[in-house]
Structure 1
Amino acid sequence: GGQPPTGYTGPPPSTPPPPGWRPPVHVRTPPPRHLPPQDMAAMDQAEQRAQRVTYGVGAVVGVVLVLLTCLLCSRVLF
């Protein structure tokens, strides 16, 4: 007997799988559905309404914060 090899000798040899080893596939996926058309004018109007609501809420919050700041400053000064 000889000495066993030292160090890494690489992976063990492998045999390739036989041709046609995969099982047959019988499931077919349906084609993708068609999306309904989009009403771009209605989407633009909805976006503008949402933007107006957002700006309105922001304005109300800004006014409330200014009033609270004025109230707190007047309490500190007087």
Structure 2
Amino acid sequence: MTYDDASWQRPGPGSEPPAPERTGEAVPPTGYAGPPPTQQPPAGWRPPTYLQPPPPRQLAPQDIDKIEAQEKDARTLTYGVGLVAAAVMVVLSCLLCSRVLF
């Protein structure tokens, strides 16, 4: 099948566009017929189930006071590490600035 540029050019004023039969294109169907009909699945279409899963287990009880104490300890450690890192950065900055100025 050969393609020519005539099918892509704009029609002149007052002329009709070429019909699909003449350009080799298929004529699109008119209207919408709707979705295809559905069919019920046959009986027994699911595989048989032999085992039932066990019911979920109970979670272990939580000690809220112990959890809060551990979170407080972790927060204290985090703040301590942050303060030490900030102090080291301040000392290094002071050393760098003193070397540049003097």
Query: What is the TM-score when the length of structure 1 is the normalising length?
Result: 0.77
* Distance in 1, Cα, partners of 2:36 & 2:66: 66
Greater shift in the superposed pair: 56-65 or 21-30: 21-30
Query: Which consecutive unaligned segments of at least 5 residues does structure 1 have?
Result: 1-5
Q: Are 2:67 and 1:18 equivalent residues in the alignment?
A: no
Query: Which consecutive unaligned segments of at least 5 residues does structure 2 have?
Result: 1-27
Larger radius of gyration: 2
- Percent identity at matched positions? 54
The alpha-carbon distance between structure 1 residues 69 and 22, as it changes in their structure 2 partners (threshold 3 A), is same
Q: What SS does the corresponding residue of 1:43 show, helix, strand or coil? A: helix
Q: Are 2:92 and 1:71 equivalent residues in the alignment?
A: no
Count of aligned positions: 74
The CA deviation string for residues 9-55 of structure 1, in whole angstroms up to 9 with x for no partner, is 88887754322232321110000010110000000000000000000
The corresponding residue for 1:36 is 60
* Distance in 2, Cα, partners of 1:71 & 1:48: 35
The corresponding residue for 1:58 is 82
